[in-house]
Structure 1
């Protein structure tokens, strides 16, 4: 996602008894999620995710998108002829999702939570997208539950796509590049580790920031096979102004470079978002 993860704590007033879901609802009620992936720099994440979805999706496949937002992925796949079910927490996003639905789309949307997909049967979907919920889950138990549910509803042999927010590029961009946050102050407040620079997100925060080793630890519990681990947007947000100013030919060349390098082990930590793609046994 293109917004400044670390500075939201300074922009949201919160009381001790307010539930996390309300912070998400308040945020997305005032954020243009529908247009987030349209600008060139925002489209890189979308195009990368679609690039990998297209590697595995087959005619006749059924898709579930958990945390569908306003439906950019769901609508794209439905318009390509796939059967798509979507789950979204925020009613405002669901309203826009429904407004964007075309008559010929084989698509459904319901309100729900990634940690409770009890309305869906086991082994139901060929492709399962979990492209937003892991941004907003803070405890190991909640993360495991969301992943467990996504895996449960996926057919054996099906493919799950899980997206995360990666901490280091946020620190580099928002802290050292744009000066939107004071890294020294965040260290003093215990939000960034003084030695490792790992972030310490808590349930009261809006976004969870992780590193690949955290994702590896999460996935070690599950009997799945990782197919790809992808730097979804690489350095794109760091250089967003340059990306948006590119002519179409240069942007296509940039995308070619990005697709060629987004799985390189020496570069995958330099990204704002990552995509973990794995197959259910």
Structure 2
């Protein structure tokens, strides 16, 4: 698929392994791990679909959990394997979130879908990835699905950092002229959504939503200020973020969101 080639080329050049290591980048990681730990129990089996270079998989394996990981991009798999420690109970295989036929039904207590939905451009493809994640998860298991949220990205990449030309995006139809809702194609690399899009995607599934959280909130918009914080101030900022990240009135002011639901 041509859309897969866009991804492969992008991740060959992108430092995904260090994306979550800065203070501002760690907000997303720490928030996600915090929610995962709410539902982890001793002996749980974990599957990460679209594991990237393994930041989450390795963190959980080093806590003593058995982790299986699937990743599309060979370059990411090579880094994943390089970062694997001898005592980790972990596997990595190449695969596509849309087809997990190598994995049987009802196998995992925790399933992470933290990257693939960034790069799927139709509702049906998104639903297929979620359908597969649900299938391989045990009854009452918990699935974590991450999205890139358009408004946080527009504020940060557009109006703040000016990495995108907002007026040009409006002219070319990538942003709606009235609502500023985003439209993406595979060559744009990232699919940008809003919570109402997530709600529509999930409307066909008989699952129970446990949490919907702004996983990094304003962290990217405030990256310079956050990176300059001393440890005490950063700790306060994290506590503040954790206290507001599920507030409905702030759900769109984030670059990434985490939808957590139970089978």
TM-score normalised by the chain length of structure 1: 0.92
Tell me which residue corresponds to 1:219.
Answer: 202
Tell me the alpha carbon deviations over residues 78-115 of structure 1, each in whole angstroms, 9 at most, x when there is no partner: 11110000000000110110111111111000000000
Distance in 2 (alpha carbons) for counterparts of 1:143 and 1:84: 23
Note the C-alpha offset of 1:25. Answer: 0.5
Alignment of 1:86 with 2:69, yes or no, is yes
- In the aligned structure 1, how far is the partner of 2:104 from the partner of 2:262? 18
Q: How far is the alpha carbon of 1:177 from its aligned partner?
A: 1.4
Which of these residues, 230, 233, 239, is aligned with residue 247 of structure 1?
A: 230
1:127-276 mapped onto 2 (5 Å cutoff): 127-276=110-259
* Superposition deviation, residue 179 in structure 1: 1.9
Aligned equivalent of 1:97: 80
Partners of 1:105 and 1:172 in 2: how far apart? 39
- Give the one of 30, 41, 55 matched to 2:38: 55
CA-atom RMSD in angstroms:
0.8
User: In 1, Cα distance between the equivalents of 2:85 and 2:158?
Assistant: 42
Q: Which runs of 5+ in 2 are unaligned?
A: none
Runs of 4+ in 1 over 2 A off after TM superposition: 202-205
Equivalent residue, structure 1, for 2:55 = 72
Unaligned runs of 5+ in 1: 1-17
1:162, distance to aligned residue in structure 2 (A): 0.2
Task: Output the TM-score relative to the length of structure 2.
Answer: 0.99
Give aligned pairs, total: 263
Checking the alignment, whether the CA contact within 8 Å between 2:98 and 2:129 is kept in structure 1 is: yes
Question: Which residue of the partner structure matches residue 14 of structure 1?
Answer: none
Q: Give the C-alpha shift of residue 203 in structure 1.
A: 3.4
**1:118 and 1:53 mapped to 2: Cα distance?**
25
